[in-house]
Amino acid sequence: MIAPPGLRAWQPSGSAGRWFVPAAARLMRLELRHNAMPCLLPLAIALFGVLTYRKTLAMPPLWYVRVDDTQSGLVLDFATSVAGAAAWMGSREARRRVTDLLETVARPRFTRLLASWAATSCWAVAGCVLCLAAVYWATSLRASWGGPLWWPAAVVVASMPAFAALGFGAGVLVPSRFTAPVVTIATFFVVALSTELIVGSQSYWQVSPVVSAAWDVGADPGVATFYPYLPDLSIAQLMFLAGLTVAVVAAATGLPRVSGSRRLRVAAAVASTAGLLTAGTAVDLAGTGTLNAHGMIVIPALHDAADDRPLQFTPVCSRTAIPVCLNPAYAVYLPAAASALGPVLSEIAGLPGAPVRVIQSGTTYQQGPANEVLISLAGPVVSGRPPVYRLLLPDQLGGLQLSPGQLTGVLRAGTDPSVIASVVGDGPGASAAQRAVAAALLLAAREPYRALAAGTVSGVLAPGTPVRQSVPSRGRRVAGAGQGLIPAPVFAAALRFTALPASARHAWLVRNLAALRAGRITLARLP
């Protein structure tokens, strides 16, 4: 008897000395080889490379920022391809008019369809893991602190079988050439545009895998650097995806009468119901989430109180007259921060009441009306004894991330006046002499006068003052020199004080700073 070439390799045989390959593995191998997903995988990976990977790598090398962005992007890049390919595979038997023929084979319909869905999911997960590996590898090379966050990666990976299940179910139910494109677009519509329905932090739609964090906060560098990453939302999303996958796959493959034995159909019905219940519970849990003070979603039923403790880290400090210390995750910004603050810190170093250290502080987040989130410095600007100035980098305030060069400019314009004001007591209701000395110290530090004129010299921030309203944002025009807020006599006194030798200026401040702060020195008494 002559068999076609290669047939022997497929036969399970123990007598011929070959190792036994289980039938399920052979079926899976066949499905992997004849799947539509490998055709679409390059497209999805290219999409990821062009849209998500490029953008992610342009972000600061902070694990949370990059992983958060990757979750949203990767899910969107892959969802349509996976759902479409699965819909195409699900409709294969009907499309090829082999449904009746396949009823006669030994394997039940349930097994055949399950293998087809599993193969599609395997390809999708493989592509997805490849993309995740690229991002994690690139981030690990540049991140100065912290470790990879695995929960978002788990959500991305779990969403692939879920999208495959949805597409596959649609393909099995409505086998048509239009099913795949309709499912693809519907998936995109639901995944991408459903986020429009998220209002505030308590929204059921946060269960969508495209939502990687508090939707109104996004990939904020201030999150998960001073406090641990909270996996609450990720856990709810994983529950939802797992439940959805089981429910749809069991319903599509096991429930129809032709799927297999009665016992199998009952098991499929039970699994489908359990999956639906799990998914529903997850949606309900996601709806109970609230934005906590650290910028993450807390779901009370899933929350571990141990995650509320601040992270322990050794800050990285500059060698300026007063050390500038940053969270090690922000080490890349240290040279820029030292360059921006160094001259001013040299002016005030050694003065009574001057900060002994400038240390980066965490932010606090507060949900406002609708989709507004208020981000501010957690606690007072100056605290402790000896005093420590608590710095907030502009990147921590949300929005676009700054390059080190941009950061220098923003710190000079916003933080330098604030540091000086904290020493001389400048602020709302400050005396003319205090304003003149503050201006003089800024001028002495060779800061552009526009920073002074921007108005930030006029106040130490009161505790709890929203920093967004106080630090010049990158989109705000900084006032020019001609638009100064300082009266001419005050400015003249400032110029006079600046003209003093640095040692004389410093000595005068050492003697008179307490009186100056108390408002007992008039403009005329300034040297």
Partner 1 sequence: MSYDWLAGPRGVAAIRPSGPRLRTRPAPAGTRLAWLYLVSRRVPAAAAVIAGCAAGLRIALIAHWDTYGALQLPLVFETLAAAAVTACSASPFGEPERVAVRRLPWLRLATALALTAVAAGALATAGAGAQLSGGTLDVLRNVLGIVGLGLLCAAGVGASLAWAGPTTYLIVGVYALYTQWHGPALTTPWVWPARPPHDVGAALCAGLVFVTGTVVVTVRGARDRSGDRD
Contact residues for 465 (Cβ-Cβ < 8 A; gap 6+) = 376, 377
Least separation, in Å, of the C-beta of 400 and partner 1?
8
Least separation, in Å, of the C-beta of 457 and partner 1?
32
Residue 199 in the binding site for partner 1 (CB under 8 A): no
Point out which span in 132-140, 162-170, 188-196, 489-497 binds partner 1 (CB under 8 A). 188-196
What is the residue type of 128? C
Binding to partner 1 (CB under 8 A) within 59-98 occurs at 76-77, 80-81, 84, 88, 91, 94-97
Point out which span in 5-13, 141-149, 172-180, 423-431 binds partner 1 (CB under 8 A). 172-180
Distance, CA of 489 to CA of 485 (rounded, Å)? 12
Distance, CA of 260 to CA of 275 (rounded, Å)? 20
Do 459 and 371 form a contact (C-beta atoms < 8 A)?
Answer: no
Sheet architecture: strand order including 316-317: 316-317, 324-326, 357-360, 388-391, 382-383
Distances (CA, A) of 31 to 27, 121, 134, 430: 6, 11, 27, 77
Residue 446 in the binding site for partner 1 (CB under 8 A): no
Residue 472 in the binding site for partner 1 (CB under 8 A): no
Residue 33 in the binding site for partner 1 (CB under 8 A): no
Contact residues for 1 (Cβ-Cβ < 8 A; gap 6+) = none
Taking the C-alpha atoms of 380, 381, 385 and 388 in order, what is their torsion angle to the nearest 10 degrees? 140
Do 143 and 61 form a contact (C-beta atoms < 8 A)?
Answer: yes
Return the closest-CA partner of residue 201 out of 215, 220, 221.
215
Residue placing its CB nearer to partner 1 in the complex, 137 or 189? 189
Q: Kindly write out the interface string for residues 407-436 of this chain, putting x where it contacts partner 1 by CB under 8 A and - elsewhere.
A: ------------------------------
Residue 192 in the binding site for partner 1 (CB under 8 A): yes
Only one residue has tokens 């800050």, namely 315
Residue 101 in the binding site for partner 1 (CB under 8 A): no
Among 144, 176, 288, 401, interactor with partner 1 by CB under 8 A: 176
Least separation, in Å, of the C-beta of 47 and partner 1?
6
Binding to partner 1 (CB under 8 A) within 42-61 occurs at 43, 47, 50-51
Least separation, in Å, of the C-beta of 172 and partner 1?
14
Query: Which residues does residue 374 pair with via DSSP β-bridges, in sequence order?
Result: 366
Residues interacting with partner 1, by CB under 8 A? 36, 39-40, 43, 47, 50-51, 76-77, 80-81, 84, 88, 91, 94-97, 175-178, 180-182, 184-185, 188-189, 192-193, 196, 400
